[in-house]
Structure 1
């Protein structure tokens, strides 16, 4: 399955596994799509239903001009409804973490827990990053942006194959959708929403993340009552891709503690 029809239009989806355990939903970053979660679907699909979704305009989802981060969250909730998932653990990376916080604000009862990776409540350099991203998508195109950006996204241990994967994935994104996603993530200010979270929360961050540095994850975790903060050694901004075993193990430990 690559697409489902929802009340918010067609949404791209890929999933693995099943059973009675609470499902785990994965939300991608601004420069990727649902395919980035393949290592996690393979792992968590052995013990539960694991689902990765595209935002509107990304991957196999219908476009949604002028969509906001709250519209993205609504599309994920609509996809959950279409997939007959009432409640799930929500794992989001970067933009995915921003959308997870927005989703919780809209429908906290749908969130069994939150896993917020390499993300933030508010980014002090968000406006500047958005301005650069928007300009680059117009002037050099998505492949040029991807080639220029890959080195900053990945840590020192990333392989050439990882660099190539990041470039190819980002290059496939429609430029208009990318700008919408960039606005949704970099201009977010969800301090109040984060402070209102009352579900178990794990905050993960790569120790070499220069895009959303560990200090932003520390701030985010400090806003959320009872949140657990864990650093992924040897990872940059794309911790789930760079350190698959450590990333998956951290989530396994967290789920074992709360379920």
Structure 2
């Protein structure tokens, strides 16, 4: 069955759109490589771009299950595997480019992974994602049974390790790393709320998660700067509260969370309007 078909064998517009979206970063990277648009250090730029897209797509894949509950749109489940495999593709590209940058000296690559903590963490995340990718096919799902769900919960550990790797790689330029960490923390809150049987279709519950997610993002950013650069965490928290020229990641996470909280209201209003229109034309 082709990638763009659903389980019934029909062409799926949702899967086509997803396939196009996850392919665009790789195509742009290929074009810039051919046209010399990667700057004076092309390997470094390509390594960073592929790694950035790997964790971005991984975060989106983790957002699928909460989105299904919030939007009550089960068809989204059809793209979760595609997103996960795409994240693995960019991770493998990220690692492959690093190997190429080291002149394909596998001894040097292995020693660097062992000696550099951020590389060790990133490699463990890659190994977990590779194991999940190898067991993502229908045959492995049937063969593993209940163990499949337990194994694939490791994706959250992989995402956490990837976020730590991202922080350690970016060092003081940690804006996007903080943003990614904030989204992961917020997704963790959605998961916790679902386990406690809180209604993820309730705007109040979602707004509460948005506020808490924003606070956790500010805390994660402050903790990173404290541990990584010895900047007092209170200074970072103060910067988050003062709304300077650059809007801090915590506010972006809060805004995104509040936008999600509005979605059930909009969906209900649109559904009610459609039903009213049907009644008028009946």
Fold match by TM threshold 0.5 = no
More strand by share: 1
TM-score (norm 2): 0.30
TM-score (norm 1): 0.32
